[in-house]
Structure 1
Amino acid sequence: EEEELEFQQVEKATSLFNSCKIRHLKSMSKVTSCFDSLVAVSPEDSITAICSQLFEHQLHGVPVVEGGTALSVVTAFRILQYFANNLESKPDFMTSTLAELGIGTYHQILTILRETPLIVVLDVLARRELTSVPVVDDRGVVVDVFTQDDVLSLGCWPDLFDFMEEPLHDVISLIEKDGIQRHKPVPTCRRSETLENIVYRLLTNVGQRSLVCVDSEGHIEGIVSVSDILRFLYEIFISKKKEKK
């Protein structure tokens, strides 16, 4: 009886999906009401207001909603891209270095040893709500960066659970053997590089949202992300706005 009931439920769900059309979704109150509890912005909000939402809620992107309908998603990356593409003249601070501007995070940087079991890495990413984590060897030299894109690629493995105890460097090798395009070389930078160069590198490397700052020997010093740069620009804009008042 249970199997028959389950079969009927599947048949009913299949019939519902086959008969449902896009226009039906607009009239479903359950679909539109789900936006009430979401952090969202409207098409009329300023870039400043959107940045404020991103920073306040520690988000990488927010949905643009109008009349209960999601129109798109605006991300920190897209805002930085807009800023870079619409500069009429280059601000002086763009030629200053990361060290001079103080952009990035340089304290309590989490790293993962390349021998760490995959299950531990996944647990760390989930609990810390991280999108990536630098991978180091036994000398503390950065040898890779394990990202959320790598995690997503694991979802294609039918026998994923058999690899949970495997060291991360072996898992990464298998991902690359599957033909998955990953960041090459390791996305690192130096604190002596200019902001202009860092912005260019972040915007021209597809899928890359942060760079690992290293010293001359490759040891990690910190991380600079798209959000770090956007926050810097936001604070400059806000301070200048207050000065005008």
Structure 2
Amino acid sequence: MSSTLSPSNSPKVRRKPSTRRRAGSHLPAHPSQESHDRALNAIRAFLRSRTAYDAFPVSFRLIVLDTKLTVKRALQCLLLNGVVSAPLWNSEESRFAGMLTVLDIIHLIQYFYHSMASVNITSADVEAFRLESLRDIERELGVATPPLLRENPSSSLFDCAKLLIQTHARRLPLLDYDTDTGHETIVSVLTQYRLLKFIAINCDKEIAQLHLNLRKLKIGTFVTGLPSAEPSEGDNPYNPIATAGLKTPVFDVVHMFSKHSISAVPIIDDNGVVLNLYETVDVITLVRLGAYQSLDLTIEEALKQRSPDFPGVITCSASDSLGTLLQLIKKRRVHRLVVVEGEEEERRGGKKGRLVGIITLSDVLRYVTGAVSIGEPIPQAQEPDE
């Protein structure tokens, strides 16, 4: 795996050529399907034997937002505490009211961006908007209301993972019952990253047996064919992956986030080489700066406002192993990997660094647990290359 620093991390830093340092996958000469499947079954048994409580860090903070808060104050709270989501609580009825996520902010931007241009809505109206009205925005936009997910902390990690996958959620609120008050109480939030890191820390022996490569295991979303040299107007040569360029307006990418329910869009050049990622969390910075009034700025301009401590774009090859990926999750915070062509593809006439696919934590969790989204077939491990 490699971590490629973004060329647009800070407007004050001179742009340097991109460097890609890769760690080997340590694939054996003849990966064993039998040992791979045995390791998967052992990991799943481990998850069934552990509860959500077991995955809690030794020390953590829980940020809970009252639905009466304005969006402006809620965002200030998130930024101050370094988080991008938080449970919502209806204090009038003393009940859990769902989660505030970056996607809610995306929907809010879409709604007010158009409303400011068509009706008499001001910046003050946006900043005074209350969290309790977020569901009204979803109805106006015609997007699905997220399910009111929750699970008990004593539930098995396997059941928690299954619920995350079946509902396409990235985080799961954990609620218990307070016998003194007779009300539910929010205990914590289990994220996909926390769950996968727990596996990576506790299943070293099993992970060492996961040698089959990512493409053969069908983990992630891959470009369906080689990009056309001259795609017709309106075609996306990297279908089904949504992409953008440095000159793409930010609002076009915001629309991609909402339309496809995704959290990042690769920024590529004319040859399909990955230059950067634009993420939903980047939009929070723009909202904080009041830039929802001028989202016609380009991605290149928006990236100049990104924090200089952005960790960079994490890349991998389709020939890397699942075990290597899980070892990376163990070592550092990872939310997604961009699959690019490497030296091996370049020798076959490809373009080094060109976009091949994207692997999200949902993809990894879905495969490792064997859980499936509603209506999807169960993913099966594929035979290794001869």
TM-score exceeds 0.5: yes
Unaligned 5+ segments in structure 2 are 1-68, 70-88, 99-146, 178-183, 225-239, 343-351, 372-377, 380-386
Letter matched to residue 41 of structure 1 = E
Q: 2:97, 2:206 → 1: CA distance?
A: 42
Q: Indicate which of 305, 313, 317 corresponds to 1:175.
A: 305
Partner of 1:157: 289
Partner of 2:315: 188
Q: 1:27, 1:143 → 2: CA distance?
A: 43
More helix by share: 1
Q: Indicate which of 65, 68, 73 corresponds to 2:189.
A: 73
Q: Indicate which of 219, 223, 237 corresponds to 2:354.
A: 219
Partner of 2:78: none
1:115 aligns with 2:231: no
Partner of 1:231: 366
Given that 2:200 and 2:329 are in contact with CA atoms closer than 8 Å, whether structure 1 keeps it comes out as no
Letter matched to residue 228 of structure 1 = D
After superposition, give the CA deviation of every residue in 1:36-82 in whole Å (9 maximum; x if it has no partner): x7211002211111111111110011100112111111111111111
Partner of 2:260: 128
Q: 1:92, 1:159 → 2: CA distance?
A: 47
1:166 aligns with 2:297: yes
C-alpha distance 170-41 of structure 1, shift in aligned 2 (>3 A): same
Given that 2:246 and 2:299 are in contact with CA atoms closer than 8 Å, whether structure 1 keeps it comes out as yes
Given that 2:153 and 2:175 are in contact with CA atoms closer than 8 Å, whether structure 1 keeps it comes out as yes
Q: 2:315, 2:241 → 1: CA distance?
A: 14
1:229 CA drift (Å)? 1.3
Given that 1:93 and 1:195 are in contact with CA atoms closer than 8 Å, whether structure 2 keeps it comes out as no
After superposition, give the CA deviation of every residue in 1:186-227 in whole Å (9 maximum; x if it has no partner): 221101112222223334333x31001011322211111222
C-alpha distance 175-92 of structure 1, shift in aligned 2 (>3 A): same
**What is the DSSP-based 3-state SS (H/G/I as helix, E as strand, rest coil) of the residue aligned with 1:199?**
helix
1:131 CA drift (Å)? 1.0
Bigger relative contact order, structure 1 or 2, given CA contacts below 8 A and separation 6+?
2
Q: 1:203, 1:128 → 2: CA distance?
A: 29
Q: Indicate which of 45, 63, 88 corresponds to 2:155.
A: 45
Identity %: 24
Letter matched to residue 272 of structure 2 = G
Given that 1:202 and 1:226 are in contact with CA atoms closer than 8 Å, whether structure 2 keeps it comes out as no
1:54 aligns with 2:181: no
1:28 CA drift (Å)? 5.4
1:144 CA drift (Å)? 0.5
- For this pair of structures, how many residues does the alignment match? 207
TM-score by length of 1: 0.75
**What is the DSSP-based 3-state SS (H/G/I as helix, E as strand, rest coil) of the residue aligned with 2:270?**
coil
Range 99-108 or range 186-195, more displaced: 99-108
C-alpha distance 93-133 of structure 1, shift in aligned 2 (>3 A): farther
Letter matched to residue 51 of structure 1 = A
Letter matched to residue 198 of structure 1 = L
CA RMSD of aligned residues (A): 2.7
C-alpha distance 76-126 of structure 1, shift in aligned 2 (>3 A): same
After superposition, give the CA deviation of every residue in 1:97-125 in whole Å (9 maximum; x if it has no partner): 21232221114111112210111111221
Given that 1:60 and 1:75 are in contact with CA atoms closer than 8 Å, whether structure 2 keeps it comes out as yes
TM-score by length of 2: 0.49
Q: 2:293, 2:315 → 1: CA distance?
A: 31
C-alpha distance 72-114 of structure 1, shift in aligned 2 (>3 A): same
Partner of 2:85: none
